[in-house]
Structure 1
Amino acid sequence: MRPTRSTELDAVVIGSGPNGLAAAVTLARAGLAVQVVEAQDALGGGTRTVDLGLADGVVHDLCSAVHPMALASPFMREFDLASRVDLLVPEVEYAQPLDGGRAALAYRSVERTADGLGRDGAAWRRLLGPLAADREGLVEIALGDRRSVPRHLVTAARYGLGVLEQGSPAWGVRFRGDEAPALLTGVAAHAITPMPSVPAAGAALMLAGLAHGVGWPIPRGGSQAIADALVADLLAHGGTVVTGMEVMDLDELPRARAYLFDTTPRTLVRVLGSRLPTRTARAFGRYRYGNAAAKVDFVLSGPVPWARPEVGLAGTVHLGGSRAEMAAAEADLVAGRHAERPVVLLSDPAVVDPGRVGAGGRRPLWTYAHVPAGSTVDPTEAVTAQIERFAPGFRDVVVASRAIPAAEMSAHNANYPGGDIAAGAVTLGRVLIGPRMAWDPFGGGLPGVYLCSASAPPGPGVHGLGGWYAARRALRDRFGITRLPSLSPDAARAG
């Protein structure tokens, strides 16, 4: 049912990604009448799991497959996601294959990881050990709202110094071999930004620290389980949802005291139109989008035949070779070129979730390659070749595949313009300031309007924090509610 303009609500959330659902749950838990409006026919945004029709009983994660922040996010901990969704942590958090049958492996244990890095083990331990040991401090500085003063000052200083080192031409001083720097660079590549750079280094130290601190889990059954848990809680607290409705103008939405946009700034400007102050519209109009990911989903007849068998224990594999090779590949994107050997991220969820194996032993394989923004090129061959490089015989286990070029990614999620899965270029300005120069990085330019997507702090990832931070501001500013509602399942049962 489409909402009518005369309908009175407390809040409307546009977009049902993890941030939008986090905002909606928070508002509904506070006793407000909340509606979520989603353009797609299914809820979840970047956490949808679908049957692509490639093989019986095999489903694929349409966007995110592995969730490095699901166990660390303060919102997800308050929501107690781990009690609602079975989050499976692999034996090897992530791996970096290298030529010659070698590979660097990141385990939950810093010590075990360091032991496998030879002469660079001590350097890895010194860089990441303290960050992993103070998980709360790391999350506070890396996943905060960019306006709160950190309390964990020692960890903030260690993180800052590490970012400055790994984000500058001095990034090679710490390491003497090639395995440790390649392992860290594979994590930095998640940012899809030039390397070395401060934003890439910030992502690397945060994600690598969380791998050691809490792990990078894969939800049993697929990422949809996260969205389903959030939607179930929303509905249990009186919230409503509308799907299949692309909002073009504010007049299409019910009247409400607050509107929260789990969208990019581009969509917010379109929906608000001339209502938005010219200065704000221009500021959002200057918001930069970045380079892209192109997706390839495979069906395999068996596990990936890695040259180094231990790579097959990893939930996430970064493919790109050495640090220098990956930096060169990302530089090609900045120049508008397709890298001959692109950076590829890969996940085989059946490594930790045997239930993902379908009839006849068929299993899904999730991959994407970094490409220039708006690329129309089918990435299947480039991805296949990069996997085959480190897993000879991979082509022999491929049963079927389906590609989504970068230019088509926004058809599945409007927050990925041109294939930009980070919902904006990962620049220093965006990381420190937000989507525009304003004291409140979640403000949408009008009273009661908020931006709560990955375009707002703390940026991309399945953590729900953009929605949580924006909802907290809406509760305070629009409804005078300063005491945050409990999000725990026990509180729901008690109510």
Structure 2
Amino acid sequence: MDEPVDAVVVGAGPNGLAAAVVLVAAGLQVEVIEAAPTIGGGARTAELTLPGFAHDVCSAVHPMGVASPFFRAFDLARHGVDMRQPEVAYAQPLDGARAGLAWRDLDRTVDGLGADGAAWRSLVGPLAERWEQVVDLLLSDFRHPPLHVGTAARLATRLLEQGSPAWNRRFSGDVAPALLTGVSAHAIAPPRGFAPAGAGLLLASLAHGVGWPIPAGGSQSIVDALAAAVLAGGGRIRTGSPVHALAELPPARAVLLDVSPRSLIELSRGALPPSYEGWLRRFRYGSAVCKVDFALSGPVPWAAPGCELAGTLHLGGSRAEMAATEADVHAGRHPDRPYVLASQPGVVDDGRAPSGQGTLWTYAHVPNGSTQDLGEAVTAQVERFAPGFRDVVLHRSVMTAAQEAEHNANYVGGDIAGGAPTPWQMVMRPAPRWDPYRTPLEGTYLCSASTPPGPAVHGMAGLHAARRALRQVFGDRRDPLELVRALR
């Protein structure tokens, strides 16, 4: 029989590992159990195309790795992770060899946007100046938000504008609105909505506040640092160990689950109260992604100057085009020209590929459960903004949305966001409860992206759930961020 421990964490993704870090920092005996052969969840790195070419399996670019309260306390640099900053955080290529460029420097971005530069500054500048407060608000548990009243008001007015038919009111050209819409589309939902607008404003402000860094060696370095902290604190990590029922877990006073609501139902084996299980069954999963990775013989030949400096690119054309494309996906249709999110890590990390060669990481948005291989459609969309791209492609690897779900059980139907980003589900995920992390099962907590604050590699769902477990199970009311800061 397994030895008893204080706490068991199921799932070694960023949130599960963040929860484990908090718990070991509190002096508890913790065991992490992961079904996959390796840790990482949505932050793995592997050779997906050719030998010597390292690709991030899911997440690739990490503004939250330096901005979220958890990672500000953990300090990845202190734990050996080299977060490298591209000169251009993200770019929005447009037809006609034009592009909007979000430089780290707000002034340089404003200068490049011409007549709409002042509009960009007035929209994004006040949030970038207060990025820590913006992050603290949007990565809270939405039950105990910090009292940043002025920043909350600024954020709310901009959400109302960019999430409504007034979203074009301040712009006169097509570059600046496309630049913001490309970021908002990270939410994998029609961009003119409150949740996508919030994602866009947050990420745009972070581009100028902390940048959009890329970890040297790949996203795996982030989770490896978290795992090392768990082990250094006396915790254990077991990989290649699928869990089929909560009863299979080692005896523990607390159980934290980095799993989807659907998996929670399966693991509970009928032990959940019908009302709570009913909410989990009604939980809506969102649109999905088809992942396409490229091994390249050289740099991507972008037509628009400046794109070669960008760590991230949004390939979707104009604001109107991206809105129409995302509406198609939301309605269950595959657009001819999909929105493509791309990253070229080689701009700051030439160790991802053999000398003189490179990689391109991309996602295309597709309907949930899609089995379509969008390799050719993605290639054509890159070629649209980088004529001659096909000539530098050595190999292409595709993972459909359905295959994403097989690769990671939390990606239900290929939804990498842990649930549809509706205003209701961003706050009341996975169920309308004052404590969204505590389940009705004694000592059992949910800490995945299906709880507030939602998706991204920020560790905050793990931290919020671990805070509850410390207080409610162990009577420990210490600030978990202070515990994490004290780690060595």
TMscore range, shorter length: over 0.9
Q: Do 1:35 and 1:240's aligned partners in 2 also have CA atoms closer than 8 Å?
A: yes
Residue ranges of structure 2 left out of the alignment (5+ in a row): none
SS in 2 for 1:35: strand
Query: What's the counterpart of residue 447 of structure 1?
Result: 442
Per the alignment, residue 368 of structure 2 pairs with 373
> How far apart, in 2, do the equivalents of 1:151 and 1:170 lie?
28
Contact 1:19 1:463 in 2 (8 A): yes
Report what 1:294 is aligned to. 290
Instruction: Name the SS of the counterpart of 1:479 in structure 2.
Output: coil
Q: Does 1:182 align with 2:178?
A: yes
Residue number among 464, 469, 472 corresponding to 1:469 in the alignment: 464
Between the two proteins, the alignment pairs up a number of residues equal to 487
> Is residue 30–residue 484 contact of structure 1 (8 Å, CA) maintained in 2?
no
Q: Root-mean-square deviation (CA), in Å?
A: 1.3
Residue 445 of structure 1 aligns with an amino acid whose one-letter code is P
What is the CA-CA distance between 1:63 and the residue it aligns to?
0.6
Which residue number in structure 2 is paired with residue 459 of structure 1? 454
Q: In structure 1, which of residues 68, 73, 88 is the aligned counterpart of residue 68 of structure 2?
A: 73
Contact 2:73 2:485 in 1 (8 A): no
Q: 1:368-420, CA deviations, whole angstroms, 9 ceiling, x for partnerless residues?
A: 10011111111100100000000000000000011001111022211111110
Q: What residue number does 2:20 align with?
A: 24
Partner of 1:137: 133
Inter-partner Cα distance in structure 1 for 2:111 and 2:71: 32
Are 1:431 and 1:457, in contact at CA under 8 Å, matched by a contact in 2? yes
How far did 1:110 drift? Answer: 1.5
Counterpart contact for 1:55–1:362, Cα < 8 Å: no
**TM-score, normalised on structure 1?**
0.96
The equivalent residue for 2:36 is: 40
Structure 1 Cα separation of the partners of residues 224 and 379 of structure 2: 32
CA distance, structure 2, for counterparts of residue 487 and residue 367 of structure 1 = 37
Question: Per-residue displacement from partner, 1:409-432 (whole Å, max 9, x unpaired)?
Answer: 022211111110101101110122
Letter in 2 for 1:441: P
Q: State the 1:490 CA deviation.
A: 7.8
Residue number in structure 1 paired with 2:420? 425
TM-score, normalised relative to structure 2: 0.98
The 2-side partners of 1:193 and 1:97 are apart by 20
In the alignment, structure 1 residue 416 sits paired with structure 2 residue 385: no
Aligned sequence identity (%): 60
| Matching of residue 389 in structure 1 with residue 384 in structure 2 | yes
Gaps of 5+ in 1: none
Shift of 1:489: 8.3
**What amino acid is the match of 1:119?**
A
Q: Partner of 2:46 in structure 1?
A: 50
Distance 1:26 1:385, change over 3 A: same
Q: Which residue identity is paired with 1:375?
A: S
Residue-by-residue CA offset, 1:213-254 (whole Å, 9 max, x unaligned): 101110000000001000000000111111112211111111
Determine whether 1:59 maps to 2:46. no
Matched residue SS, 1:71: helix
Q: Of 208, 215, 230, which aligns to 2:211?
A: 215
- Tell whether the 8 Å contact from 1:26 to 1:487 is kept in structure 2 after alignment: no
1-side partners of 2:487 and 2:192: how far apart? 46
Deviation of the 1:40 alpha carbon: 0.5
Deviations 1:43-89 (A, max 9, x none): 0101110122x333211111111112111000001111132210001
1:447 Cα deviation from its structure 2 partner: 2.3
Q: Could you tell me which residue of structure 1 aligns to residue 3 of structure 2?
A: 7
Q: Quote the offset at 1:198 in angstroms.
A: 0.6
Matched residue type, 2:263 = T
Secondary structure of the 1:10 match is: strand
Partner Cα separation in structure 2 for residue 476 and residue 491 of structure 1: 19
Deviates more, 1:43-52 or 1:383-392: 43-52
Matches within 5 A, 1:399-410: 399-410=394-405
Which amino acid in 2 is paired with 1:362?
Q
Partner Cα separation in structure 1 for residue 69 and residue 484 of structure 2: 15
Aligned to 1:348: 344
Q: Distance in 1 between matches of 2:197 and 2:485?
A: 39
Residue in structure 2 matched with residue 200 of structure 1 by the alignment? 196
Match of 2:257 in 1: 261
Kept in 2, the 8 Å contact 1:79–1:488? The answer is: no
- Tell me the SS of whatever aligns to 1:46: coil
Q: CA deviation at 1:485?
A: 5.2
**Structure 1: how far apart are the matches of 2:38 and 2:353?**
23
**Structure 1 residues 488 and 366: CA distance shift in structure 2, 3 A:** farther
Runs of 4+ in 1 over 6 A off after TM superposition: 486-490
Of 81, 84, 87, which aligns to 1:88? 84
The Cα of 1:491 is off from its aligned counterpart by: 3.5
Counterpart residue type for residue 137 of structure 1: Q
- 8 Å Cα contact 2:26/2:483 also seen in 1: no
The secondary structure found in structure 1 opposite 2:6 is strand
- Is residue 98 of structure 1 aligned with residue 94 of structure 2? yes
